[in-house]
Structure formats: C-alpha cells, structure tokens
Structure 1
Amino acid sequence: MKEIQITTTLTCYDHIGELPQHIQKLMEHAVNARKKAYAPYSKFRVGAALQLENGVVITGNNQENAAYPSGLCAERVAIFHAGAEYPNVKIQQIAITATSDNHINKTPIPPCGSCRQSIAEYEMRQDEAIEIYFMGGEGKIMKSNSLKDLLPLVFDKTYL
C-alpha cells in the first residue's frame, strides 16, 4: 500500500479592493448578475462572470425550478452561453459570488461539483487554465489558478 498526498494552493484576498483592477470589474459583473438570480426556493443567489480572451464578459446567475433538478447554476449558465456564442474563444477568468437572502455569507463559496466538472471540460477543451475567483456576498475572495486546484482528480475525456 502507498499513500498519496494531494495539496492545493489558493490565494486569499481580504477584500475586493485587493484584487487586480480588471478582476474587480469582473467581480462587479458577477455581483450584478447575482442580484438578478431567480432563486425563489433556496433564497441562495449566485452570480458568475467570465472574461473571454477577446475581451467579452459573459454573465450568468442561478435559475431555479420547482422541479429542482431542472434548475441550473450560475457558472454553468455563463459557461454554456460562452460555449454557444463563442465556441473557439478561450475563457481566461471566472468570478463567482454567492449569498443567501436570509443572511450575508462572508466566507468564500466555491463552485459546486457539477460546475467544477463543467469548468474542467472547458479548461481541457481550450488546453489552458482558467483562473477562478470566488467569494460570498462580501469579504474575502479566494483565487484558484486552475480548476485542477479545486478538483485535482478530474474525470476527463482520456478515460473514455
């Protein structure tokens, strides 16, 4: 038997003002998208903003449905929109913010498992890492240099 250790390094910013200027703007797009989320059931709003290599910013927010599996997360709304409209344009960064209508989350909230897998697909497709910035409703922001930092044992097309 052999034990394997996996480590991850993330960067933590204390507040949005510490982010590079272009990432501050991207996070502002995510915050604006979050405010428009359709979350009547969970009261948990998520906004995402993608920066494409051509300069276009794509936003998305969570869209809930009474038949819960029919809803879609903010990250996947944005990623799938980018894939549909700009299929050959690389995603450079994604900014994500999430909070509850019932209380302000101040802890950085990372993408869920389904969104991590979707981001992984696009990262592998473009053969280039996507920087991921995530926060709660306010406060600290975490940065991952690649989806592989959040999902180190990623399932990809090489297994098919």
Structure 2
Amino acid sequence: MKVLKRESVLFVYVALDRLPKDVVHLMEAAIKARGKAYAPYSKFQVGAAVLLSNNVVVTGNNQENASYPSGLCAERTAIYYAASQYPKENILKIAISAGSTKKQTSRPIPPCGACRQAISEYELKQKKPIEVYFMGATGAVAKSDSLSNLLPFTFDKSEL
C-alpha cells in the first residue's frame, strides 16, 4: 500500500474591502450578478464574475428550472459564456458570491463539485492556474491560487 497525500492552501480575507482593488471590483460584479439570479425553488442565489486575459469581465448567475437537473450554476454560466464569446482568452480569476434569501450566509461558500470540474477543465486547457475567490452574501472571502486546491484529484481528458 502507498499513501497519497495532497494539501490545499486557501487564503482568507476577513472582509471584501481587504481584497486587492481589482478583485474587489470582480467580487462586486459577482454580487450584482447574484442579485439577478433565477432561484425561485431553492432561494439560493449565486453570482460569478470571470476576469479574462483581455480584461473583459463576464458574469453569470444560477438559473433554476422546475426540473432541477435542467438548471445551471453561476460559475458554469459565466465560464461557458466567456469561452463561447472569447475562445482565445484565458480565464485569470473567478469571483463567486452565494447567498440564501431564507437565511444569512456569511461564510465563504465554494463552488459545487460540477463547477469545480468545469473550472478545472479550463485550467487544464489553458495550462495556467485560475485564481478562485468565493464568499457568502457577506463576510470573509476565501482565495485559492488554483482550482487544484479545491479539486485535488481531477478527472481530465487523459482518462478518456
């Protein structure tokens, strides 16, 4: 038997105003996108903002459907739109803000597993890490220098 160990390193900023200014603006775009989410069933709204290598910011939010599997998360909405409109640009950073309309969410809320996998695909495709910032509706913001901190054992095209 062999032991395989991976460590994840995250940085936590106590509040939004402690982030670098460019990231504050990116997170503000994610917060604004969160406010436009269509989440009538879960009441859980998520906004994402992606910074591309051409300095364009693309936003997305979660879109629910009565047939739950038919909806789409904010992160995937943003990165898929970015990739379809700017296919030659790299994703530098993604900011995510998530909050419930039923209760206070003040701890950093990371992307779901499906979104981690999707972000990982783009990180592998561009051969450059993507900085991931995430927060609740308020409070602290967590930062990962790479998606690989959030999904240490990836499934990718080499498995196919």
> TM-score higher than 0.5 here?
yes
Q: What are the equivalent positions in structure 2 for 1:1-160 lying under 5 Å apart?
A: 1-160=1-160
What letter is aligned with 1:79?
I
| Residues in 2 aligned to 1:37 and 1:82: alpha-carbon distance in whole angstroms | 18
CA offsets, 1:17-71, max 9 Å, x none?
A: 1100000000000000000000000000000000001010000000000000000
Amino acid at match of 2:30: A
Mapped to 2, the partners of 1:104 and 1:36 lie a distance apart of 18
**Structure 2 length normalisation: TM-score?**
0.99
* Alpha-carbon distance between aligned partners in 2 of 1:55 and 1:98, rounded to the nearest angstrom: 24
The alignment covers a number of residue pairs equal to 160
Identity within the alignment, %: 56
Query: TM-score under structure 1 normalisation?
Result: 0.99
**Secondary structure in structure 2 of the residue aligned to 1:26:** helix
Distance 1:55 1:4 in 2: 38
Please report how far the alpha carbon of residue 141 of structure 1 lies from its aligned counterpart in structure 2 after TM superposition.
0.4
Question: What secondary structure is seen at the aligned counterpart in 1 of 2:47?
Answer: strand
CA deviation map 1:110-143 (0-9, x unaligned): 0000000000011111110000000000000000
Structure 1: how far apart are the matches of 2:144 and 2:80?
21
Structure-2 separation of matches of 1:5 and 1:127: 23
Paired amino acid for 1:2: K
- Cα-to-partner distance string for 1:67-117 (whole Å, 9 max, x where unaligned): 000000000000000010001100000000001001120110000000000
Query: Helix, strand or coil: the match of 1:58?
Result: strand
Write the distance in 2 (CA, Å) between the matches of 1:146 and 1:4. Answer: 20
Listed as ranges, the gaps of 5+ residues in structure 2 are: none
Gaps of 5+ in 1: none
